[in-house]
Copies of this chain bind each other. A is one copy, B any other.
Amino acid sequence: MARPIITLTTDYGTSEHLVGTIKGAILHVNPDATIVDITHDVAPFDVLDGALAIASAYRFFPPHSIHVVIVDPGVGTERRPLLVRAASQYFIAPDNGVLSIIYEQNDDAVVRTLTAEHYFLHPISQTFHGRDVFAPVAGWLSKTWQPASMGDEITDFKRFALPKPKTENGLLKGVILKVDHFGNLMTNLTPADLPNGMLKSAAVQMTVNDREVKRLVANFAQGEPNEPVAIIGSSGYIEIAVNKNNAARVLGANRGAAVTLAIS
């Protein structure tokens, strides 16, 4: 078997020792693990943002990858730590909905609550379960591959639904889910939400933050200077972009901004 892969998605930032410390705690258990950062810049305490990050990345990893997802404002409370099997991979996270999109995309997910405390690092702090619970469990799972030994299956885990677009008066109404590093605006509209044929049409009638977007393009470079364009993004959502520029700044739009698309 190849070296086990353990990924990390957190809101810990990289300005301090936190991420390094959890890598130490993983390698202490299994020095052969290959650890991969997805991102540590999930918006602090923002479970939806963390859910989007891991959902965009996991399917590109090989089978048996172990994804540790820590956005955990409830650390130290009764919220449960989970171990989930889905899509031939594993997910370790607090039970606060941060795996909601994983559940949505994988009906057959098997969800366990982590109760076998002998896998944890003792004494367990009340503020850093990344180090004391999630990291050592990931390390042990990558050695033993015995999820059933770590806790029982549950069905009452927490999940939330992503905000879905609504149709009203010939308008599809959605929202900006995320602004990426380039300033591209990721909406919650997907190609599946559009009428047949619209994807082949270059002309669209969209508004973002009350500013018009008139063209659906195939790649960023087709946009004119300062022209906001729509594009099918790599995570499967429609995005608003400006060629070699920052759409969020050009449009004055941010996460949560309203989006409309005329479909009639």
Residues of chain A at the chain B interface (Cβ within 8 Å): 2-3, 5, 7, 9, 12-25, 27-28, 31-32, 34-41, 44-45, 53-54, 56-58, 60-62, 65, 73-77, 121, 125-128, 131-132, 178, 180-182, 218-221, 231-234, 239, 243-244, 246
A50 to B58, CA, bound (A): 28
Closest to A62 in B: B28
Given contacts A18-B181, A60-B131, contact A77 B31 (CB under 8 A): no
A-B contact pairs, 5 of them (CB 8 A): A7-B24, A73-B243, A126-B218, A127-B219, A131-B234
How far, in Å, is A148 (CB) from chain B's closest CB? 25
Q: Which among A7, A31, A44 has the highest number of chain B CB atoms within 10 Å?
A: A31
A111 to B100, CA, bound (A): 45
- Please state if B127 and A233 are interface contacts (CB–CB under 8 Å): yes
- Please state if B37 and A14 are interface contacts (CB–CB under 8 Å): yes
